[in-house]
Amino acid sequence: MPTEILMPALSPTMEEGTLAKWLVKEGDTVSSGDLLAEIETDKATMEFEAVDEGVIGKIMVAEGTEGVKVNAVIAVLLMDGESADDIGVASAPKATASSNAAPADAPKAEEPAKGYGRDGDAAQGDKAPVKDGNRVFASPLARRIAADKGLDLSGIQGSGPKGRIVKADVENATAQPKAAASAAPAAKADAPAAAKGAAMASGPSTEQVIKMYDGRPFEEVKLDGMRKTIAARLTEAKQSVPHFYLRRDIVLDDLMKFRAQLNKQLEGRGVKLSVNDFIIKACALALQQVPEANAVWAGDRTLKFTKSDVAVAVAIEGGLFTPVLKDAEMKSLSALSSEMKDLATRARDRKLAPHEYQGGSFAISNLGMFGIDNFDAIINPPHSAILAVGAGAKKPIVGKDGELAVGTVMSVTLSVDHRVIDGALGANLLNAIKDNLENPMTMLA
């Protein structure tokens, strides 16, 4: 039967997307790894590649179509011996089956149409591996590569439709011991009923809000995928994550002098360090100095990390990205500066890959360049803390010998997830950040 190509989930939060551009046309022969289309997700415009080889029999969704649901049929791939005459039987009824409704059982006498990410497409050859009691789906090519590399497919996170493991997933994975198949964890049964109980509070409906402004001129602005995702995730975060806030003033005079000296020495290399580069380094080192705070909430446990992966909020038109600088504690200030500039540029062009903005345990949001004195940032799960950075301003300070002086002072607020970090631990983390910034030379030791 012809293989249905489904709208892929190209990011963890993607529910629908825009099929921006087809890179193939009907009748084209494609192989595994060939680019099929450009798809706009809630975060970026990404390329979608073929999993299997064959001929593009029919394109079901025209380019430029918005609101295409994940797992909706977007095209049909013909295998050897198949023709366009087979497409109507294979794909027409299945487009409905890709909706959120549970599909009806197919008659046993008929072979269901295969598709990228469909259950019937999973098992070929050996018995499919199992993860948490569920079958793991992978493309035939991914299975072959995994077998050659000695990889356990149950330990690999798939990036294809419905979480299907594709070629790129196994090529980027590292060999690991095969884990024994196990039943679904008992933790699900132990989850508190209260967590599922009360529904999240919601505001007035669209109709109610519009009615409030009846007779007043306004323009309705359609929400794009990114704005919908920001609204949903941060509403959930504010309602479900128990925030508390810690505030400190940080004197920047020594850092400003040290930065000026370094920038003069690095001028020949075309490197110019920003205050934000020092903040990233200070936070990364603080997570090493207070390792208990380098953790995230994971439902019924916390995950504690040995490396400092720091996310930095980057404002773009219509929203924001939080690209992650991995192993930031190991990198020089100039390396962090160069990497941050590259990530910020590609974030504004919406060209970041998912692995570049996923992960991390800690985030930084800096509004100092906008003249904001201080603010409180919302934690972006699964991060356990976010540092809100205000502008440095001249203020009266008390010197080391008790004398009154004028210094450059920056106000910061640390928003903390109380499930992971208690008050004293959060205070230790913020004090470590402050000490690193007020003694910048120690960050090079």
Task: Return the active site residues.
Answer: 418
The Cβ of residue 215 has, within 10 Å, a number of other Cβ atoms equal to: 4
Q: Is 65 exposed, middle or buried (0-12, 13-18, 19+ CB in 10 A)?
A: middle
For residues 247 and 415, is the Cβ–Cβ distance under 8 A?
Answer: no
CA angle 356, 360, 365 (to 5 degrees): 90
Answer positive or negative: Cα dihedral of 328, 332, 336, 338: negative
CA distance linking residue 73 with residue 94, whole number of Å: 8
Question: Which distant-in-sequence residues (6+ apart) come within 8 Å of 211 by Cβ?
Answer: none
Q: Give alpha helix (H) positions in 102-186.
A: 140-149, 167-172
Peptide bond just before 129 cis, omega within 30 deg: no
Instruction: List the structure tokens of 270.
Output: 């075309």
CA distance linking residue 61 with residue 312, whole number of Å: 36
The Cβ of residue 406 has, within 10 Å, a number of other Cβ atoms equal to: 10
Q: Give the phi and the psi of residue 367 in degrees, each rounded to 5.
A: -110, 15
What is the DSSP code string of 397-441? EE-TTS-EEEEEEEEEEEEEETTT--HHHHHHHHHHHHHHHHSGG
Q: How far is CA 63 from CA 87, 167, 191, 212, 383, in A?
A: 20, 25, 43, 38, 36
Q: Give the phi and the psi of residue 27 in degrees, each rounded to 5.
A: 100, -15
For residues 235 and 380, is the Cβ–Cβ distance under 8 A?
Answer: no
Burial pattern 68-97, b for ≥16 Cβ within 10 A else e, equals bebbbbbbbbbeeebeeebbeebbeebeeb
